[in-house]
Amino acid sequence: MILLYFSLFFIFISAFIPIFFRNHIAMSEKLGALLHIIGALFGLGFVINFFQNPIALHVTFPFSLLGQTLVLHCDALSAFFLLSILLISSASCLYGLSYYSYEHRGVRASWYYRLLFGLFTFSMVLLVISDSFMLFLLAWEMMSLLAYGLISIDEDDKEANEAGFIYIIATHTGVIALLGVFGLLYTYFGVTTLSASWHIIDQNSSVASIIFLLGLFGFGLKAGIFPLYFWLPSAHANAPVSVSALLSGVMIKMGIFGILRICLLFAQPPHWWGWLLFIIGIISGLLGVIYAIAQHDIKRLLAYHSIENIGIIMIGIGMAMLGQSYGNQSLMLFGIAGAVFHVLNHSLFKPLLFYSAGSVIEAFHTRNIAAFGGILRVMPYTALFFLIGAVAIVGIAPLNGFASEWLLYLGMFKNIFASQQMIILLLGILGLATIGTLALACFIKVFGATFLGTPRDISLEGIHESSRWMLLPMGVIAFICIVLGLMPFLMMQMLFSVAVLFGVSTPEISLLALQDLSEAYLYILPLAVVVITVLWLKLSKKSSKCVGTWGCGYHAPPKRAQYTAGSLAQMLLEYYGWMFKGKRHLFEISGLFPKSLNFHLHFDDKNIAALNFMGLAIQSFANRLRAFVHNGYMGLYVLYILATLIVMLLYVSFL
């Protein structure tokens, strides 16, 4: 635990370094980042040390906070989430050195950003190890508010401010639900810490379902499950890239962390909870990826992919819960292991994608995918890292996204013929397969339209590869993605100790499946490397670059004639047209000399549109009600008072 205190301490003071040394901002920015990374290294040391012998650490402080004793508790689940918080926050810190430096944004923005950023990381680390309800809520609230500050850090950006506003409303609606959860726990069961409330609620308790649903709402709002993700795309799209990476990679995972903590409260959950989580997972996954395909803003697209991945994680959690309620150990083990492994994996490849997209946005000052093209030639490393991230997130072999999805597949296939869960697992397999292929289509679109071909609305002249501070964190994360992809068994012990927490009692041997994967790669990779090297050496000598792309008879086809991102996705989106609130403005050519014509195609998110519509309807109903009740006649107000008095008198006299 000492290492963790050091980590918290260093991260905390790293936030205040730039504000105290404003006059030497260039030096203090680097010093702050250094301290942050030292803190993260201490924390990682703690995590590695912890998993050598994963026994929960429990610390009670001799003073109280807001009427409750301050208790810290670190178990396998906390330690697992610490891993991704510390890794990604320090990567973002490095990336921010060049991306959010005082030279670009000014001295005030620089120290303000670093203050919020350091405290944001601090609050998340505190959140996962806090045990008393008060401390948990305090850390949760601190994290949410600091995230708001980071999203709308650019005061002149109207869109960002609006996104931040939606976010803050959403997050506070969630907190109300969480207050309900902890209030009920305290009132009905008299507990004040999370660790004391393990398995405290049995199935027949009258408040069990209420607590579960409130928790799912409160934490699900933060995680961005269907249909509560409405704040997520705009917030992720408008925040600075180094922050989006942290929001998407880590903060929304705190919602997952919360849902897992809620699951731990129950000894024997009813069947329908598992079904609910599972189906929410499938719908979030499918909707997220389909809406992602329709986006033309690269950051918004990545944000929608977060929803997709949260869906995949929820499928895993749903599996675990089904396993728990039907008493199926193997379903539980593979579900929980796949889910938390995917949490870690998503917190690696999503920041990687955000960083590389951020470098592109920095260089070309637009987020519109339709404008890009051919960027690979001027930013080869950024393109390579984006490619690695894309292959990983799509979940194709041999990168880490595949390893975690493979665990989920394996769990479902192993148990699909075990009677009651047949239909749901069949849906799960088909859902996961469809999500996978759709994600592939989406990332082909982004990668192809952004990095390949020829530029559409941008100029490549004078553009250079981004700075080393930006490439370094990308390189490190890409390396981790590859290592975890090829050797997923490295995570076996960690995954298993998390699963044990959830009541899995099968021997560790059953996760050896991850080793099978590595053994297969051991055969495949040498063959692949040899074949590719030989072919490359042989063919690169024979090739000559001398002609343009064949234009099917046209000598010099204009660059606008390239297939665009929109047209790549269009055919696929037509299949899923019913999911969209679509607008299309088709044109018809008429006359001998047609004028220049425009063509627009919009695919809008039907879920957000529906929520919007519902919100407006409620608002207009409330308006009318108010106008009816509060109509300005003095006599009527007196009547209200009289009526209230009579009702109260009746109440007192009869009850």
Partner 1 sequence: MNIFWQYALIFAVFIALSLLNMGIITKVKAFFGGRKGAPVLQKLYDIIKLWQKDITLSTTTSWIFFAGPFLSVLVPLIAFAMVPFGSVHALISFEGDFILFLYLFALLRFFTVASALDTGSSFEGMGGAREITFSVLIEPILFVCFIILAKISNSLALENLFGIHSFTSWTHDSTVLTIVVFSLFVVMLAENSRVPFDDPNTHLELTMVHEVMVLDHSGPLLGLITLGSALKLTLFALLISHLLLPLHTDIFWLDLVLSAFVSMGVVACVGICESLIARLRIVAIKNILLGTFVIALFGIIMITRQSL
Q: Which of residues 317-376 bind partner 1 (CB under 8 A)?
A: 373-374, 376
Structure tokens at 186: 């305290």
- Which residue is listed with tokens 């689940």? 77
Largest Cα–Cα separation, the chain: 101
One-letter identity of residue 127: L
What's the min distance (Å) between Cβ of 396 and partner 1? 4
Q: Which of residues 162-201 bind partner 1 (CB under 8 A)?
A: none
Residue selected from 196, 465, 570, 582 as contacting partner 1 according to rule CB under 8 A: 570
What's the min distance (Å) between Cβ of 15 and partner 1? 41
What's the min distance (Å) between Cβ of 402 and partner 1? 6
What's the min distance (Å) between Cβ of 599 and partner 1? 15
Which CB atom, from 270 or from 448, has the smaller least distance to partner 1?
A: 448
Candidate ranges 89-97, 125-133, 300-308, 431-439; the one touching partner 1 (CB under 8 A): 431-439
What's the min distance (Å) between Cβ of 509 and partner 1? 12
Q: How far apart are the C-alpha atoms of 319 and 421, rounded to whole Å?
A: 10
Beta bridge partners of 359: none
Q: Which residues contact 489 (CB under 8 A, 6 or more apart)?
A: 512, 514, 515, 517, 518
For residues 89 and 106, the answer to whether their CB atoms sit within 8 Å is no
Structure tokens at 247: 């929001």
What's the min distance (Å) between Cβ of 113 and partner 1? 35
For residues 257 and 263, the answer to whether their CB atoms sit within 8 Å is no
Q: Which residues contact 308 (CB under 8 A, 6 or more apart)?
A: 284, 285, 286, 288, 289, 292, 435, 439
Binding string, residues 208-247; x marks residues near partner 1 by CB under 8 A: ----------------------------------------
Structure tokens at 66: 């807001």
Q: How far apart are the C-alpha atoms of 486 and 338, rounded to whole Å?
A: 16
Which CB atom, from 177 or from 429, has the smaller least distance to partner 1?
A: 429
Which CB atom, from 398 or from 473, has the smaller least distance to partner 1?
A: 398
Structure tokens at 511: 């996760």
Structure tokens at 86: 């510390």
Q: Which of residues 434-463 bind partner 1 (CB under 8 A)?
A: 434, 436-438, 440-441, 443-444, 447-449, 452-454
Which CB atom, from 527 or from 652, has the smaller least distance to partner 1?
A: 527
H or E element in which residue 187 lies: helix 158-189
Structure tokens at 62: 């001799």
Which CB atom, from 96 or from 428, has the smaller least distance to partner 1?
A: 428
* Other C-beta atoms lying within 10 Å of the C-beta of residue 527: 9
Candidate ranges 206-214, 232-240, 432-440, 461-469; the one touching partner 1 (CB under 8 A): 432-440
Residue selected from 19, 184, 572, 579 as contacting partner 1 according to rule CB under 8 A: 572
Q: How far apart are the C-alpha atoms of 342 and 20, rounded to whole Å?
A: 39
Binding string, residues 525-564; x marks residues near partner 1 by CB under 8 A: --xx--xx--xx-xxx-xxxxxxxxxxx----x-x-xxxx
Structure tokens at 144: 């949410």
What's the min distance (Å) between Cβ of 175 and partner 1? 39
Q: How far is CA 248 from CA 29, 292, 390, 531, 558, in A?
A: 24, 15, 15, 38, 38
Candidate ranges 22-30, 164-172, 401-409, 458-466; the one touching partner 1 (CB under 8 A): 401-409
What's the min distance (Å) between Cβ of 31 and partner 1? 40
Q: How far apart are the C-alpha atoms of 77 and 74, rounded to whole Å?
A: 8
Which CB atom, from 522 or from 642, has the smaller least distance to partner 1?
A: 522
For residues 458 and 371, the answer to whether their CB atoms sit within 8 Å is yes
Q: Which of residues 585-624 bind partner 1 (CB under 8 A)?
A: none
Which CB atom, from 105 or from 414, has the smaller least distance to partner 1?
A: 414
Q: How far is CA 503 from CA 85, 261, 272, 324, 554, in A?
A: 25, 13, 19, 8, 67
What's the min distance (Å) between Cβ of 150 and partner 1? 34
Q: Which of residues 377-396 bind partner 1 (CB under 8 A)?
A: 377, 380, 391, 394-396
What's the min distance (Å) between Cβ of 479 and partner 1? 20
Q: How far is CA 384 from CA 276, 380, 399, 474, in A?
A: 39, 6, 14, 10
Residue selected from 509, 556, 571, 652 as contacting partner 1 according to rule CB under 8 A: 571
Q: Within 13 Å of residue 88, how many CA atoms lie on the same side as its CB?
A: 35
Which CB atom, from 377 or from 630, has the smaller least distance to partner 1?
A: 377
Which CB atom, from 132 or from 415, has the smaller least distance to partner 1?
A: 415
What's the min distance (Å) between Cβ of 171 and partner 1? 35
What's the min distance (Å) between Cβ of 275 and partner 1? 19
* 489 is a contact residue toward partner 1 (CB under 8 A): no
Q: Which of residues 74-103 bind partner 1 (CB under 8 A)?
A: none
Residue selected from 34, 210, 416, 611 as contacting partner 1 according to rule CB under 8 A: 416
Q: Which residues contact 185 (CB under 8 A, 6 or more apart)?
A: 133, 191, 197, 200, 211, 265
Q: Which of residues 499-528 bind partner 1 (CB under 8 A)?
A: 513, 516-517, 519-520, 523-524, 527-528
For residues 148 and 234, the answer to whether their CB atoms sit within 8 Å is no
What's the min distance (Å) between Cβ of 279 and partner 1? 18
- Ordered alpha helix ranges (H), 23-157: 25-52, 76-99, 102-105, 107-129, 133-151
Candidate ranges 153-161, 294-302, 425-433, 460-468; the one touching partner 1 (CB under 8 A): 425-433
Candidate ranges 39-47, 85-93, 170-178, 411-419; the one touching partner 1 (CB under 8 A): 411-419
